[in-house]
């Protein structure tokens, strides 16, 4: 991507400072040129006459500092870092949303992979709800299967109490009823033999 920065006079020059989140925390002195080489959204924002083109500061209100910093770090260095184990799944969700918004498909794939690797008793239900909300069928199926296969561990971790989405609750109840029906069929077959 960075090879495109040589000889392309249309790329903007200069630095930008991002004011991120409700607290307007600062990410200072980021090269507009490099951001544009890696993201079509930044290329549009800084390259074709939008109000941000000549701005020294740009407000980004739809995210938090840690997630936006992870996006900028990835764009500038190809460094994919979700931080500490605690909160890793939520950071992957937030960063994937930014990757979609700023049209960075490789980062989006890395986040999807990290989410799939993050499914555990404490994260299965929140990830299931997020997958349902975002329409991520693969993660949804993985979480549903995980909850079915590890129901006791999910329940012990507080997963049931984390459930907020009524549609997801209905889906999990349907899964449980299907499993009961399968168990009954199996028991009837064994009894008939």
What's the pLDDT at 169?
A: 60
Listed residue (127, 75, 124) closest to 103, CA to CA: 75
**CA–CA gap between residue 38 and residue 4 (Å, rounded):** 9
What's the pLDDT at 1?
A: 56
What's the pLDDT at 128?
A: 84
Q: Which long-range contacts (CB under 8 A, 24 or more apart) does 97-103 make?
A: 97/63, 97/134, 98/63, 98/67, 98/68, 98/71, 99/71, 101/41, 101/62, 102/39, 102/41, 102/42, 102/71, 103/39, 103/40, 103/41
Kindly write down the DSSP assignment for every residue of 23-49, as one continuous string.
Answer: TTEEEEEEEHHHHHHH-HHHHHHHHSS
Listed residue (89, 77, 152) closest to 118, CA to CA: 89
Could you tell me if 82 and 91 are in contact, meaning their C-beta atoms sit under 8 angstroms apart?
yes
**CA–CA gap between residue 190 and residue 186 (Å, rounded):** 6
**CA–CA gap between residue 19 and residue 71 (Å, rounded):** 14
What's the pLDDT at 189?
A: 73
What are the boundaries of each domain within the chain? 119-166+173-180
What's the pLDDT at 158?
A: 83
- Residue numbers of the chain with a pLDDT score lower than 70: 1-11, 165-177, 179-181, 183-184, 187-188, 193
Listed residue (88, 108, 84) closest to 98, CA to CA: 108
pLDDT in tens, 38-71: 999 999 999 877 888 888 999 999 899 999 999 9
What's the pLDDT at 168?
A: 64
What's the pLDDT at 100?
A: 95
What's the pLDDT at 179?
A: 66
* Lookup: tokens for 156: 């012990």
* Lookup: tokens for 122: 């404490």
Could you tell me if 83 and 66 are in contact, meaning their C-beta atoms sit under 8 angstroms apart?
yes
Listed residue (120, 118, 122) closest to 96, CA to CA: 118
What's the pLDDT at 53?
A: 84
């Amino acid at each position: 991507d960075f090879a495109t920065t040589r000889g392309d006079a249309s790329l903007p020059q200069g630095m930008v400072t991002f004011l991120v989140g409700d607290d307007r925390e600062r990410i200072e002195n980021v090269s507009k040129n490099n951001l544009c080489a890696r993201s079509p959204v930044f290329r549009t924002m800084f390259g074709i006459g939008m109000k941000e083109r000549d701005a020294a500061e740009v407000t980004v209100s739809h995210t938090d500092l840690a997630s936006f910093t992870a996006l900028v770090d990835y764009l500038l260095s190809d460094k994919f870092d979700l931080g500490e184990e605690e909160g890793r799944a939520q950071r992957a969700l937030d960063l994937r949303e930014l990757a979609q918004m700023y049209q960075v498909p490789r980062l989006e794939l890395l986040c999807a992979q990290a989410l799939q690797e993050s499914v555990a008793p404490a994260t299965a239900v929140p990830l299931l709800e997020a997958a349902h909300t975002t329409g991520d069928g693969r993660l949804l199926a993985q979480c549903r299967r995980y909850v079915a296969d590890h129901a006791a561990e999910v329940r012990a971790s507080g997963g049931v109490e984390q459930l907020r989405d009524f549609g997801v609750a209905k889906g999990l109840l349907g899964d449980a009823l299907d499993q009961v029906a399968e168990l009954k069929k199996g028991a009837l077959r064994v009894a008939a033999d």
